[in-house]
Amino acid sequence: QVQLVESGGGLVQAGGSLRLSCAASGRTFRTYHMGWFRQAPGKEREFVAAISWTGNVPYYADSVKGRFTISRDNAKNTVYLQMNSLKPEDTAVYYCAATRVRLSTLANEYNYWGQGTQVTVSS
C-alpha cells in the first residue's frame, strides 16, 4: 500500500509556472507507475501525465504536451509535475495517483490517490 500527499499548488497568473510534488510513503514506491490527473469544477477528472516506474517513459495529454513535464525521484519517493506557460483552462484540483497495472491514462486503473492540490490560473 502507498499513501500520497500532493503539494505545490497555488494561484498564478497566465503564462506563469508551478511545480507540483507528490510524496509517497512506503518502500515500494519505485514499483508503481505514477500519474497526474486534474478535475475542474463541474467537469470529470481528466488525465494529465504519467510516468513509468523506471522514470524512462513519460506520457502526456495533448492539452499539456510541450508545457508540462513529469518526473520522479525514486530515492526521494517523489513524483513531480513542472507546469509552464499556464493557462486559465489549467485551473483545477490536481491529483497524483499510483498503479502497478500498467502505465495508463485511465483513472480507474489507478489504485491509490492523493487528496489533491488546487491550482488556479488567473487571466
pLDDT band at 89 (very low <50, low <70, confident <90, very high): very high
Query: What does the pLDDT read at residue 39?
Result: 98
Smallest Cα–Cα separation from 23: which of 35, 5, 39?
5
Q: Per-residue pLDDT tens for 23-75?
A: 999 778 999 999 999 999 999 999 999 999 988 889 999 999 999 999 999 99
CA distance linking residue 98 with residue 120, whole number of Å:
24
What single-letter amino acid sits at 29? F
For cell 515500494, the residue is 28
Query: What does the pLDDT read at residue 56?
Result: 86
Neighbours of 98 (CB within 10 A): 25
Q: What percent of the chain is predicted at pLDDT more than 70?
A: 100
pLDDT band at 117 (very low <50, low <70, confident <90, very high): very high
Mean pLDDT computed over every residue of the chain: 96
Smallest Cα–Cα separation from 37: which of 26, 46, 50?
46
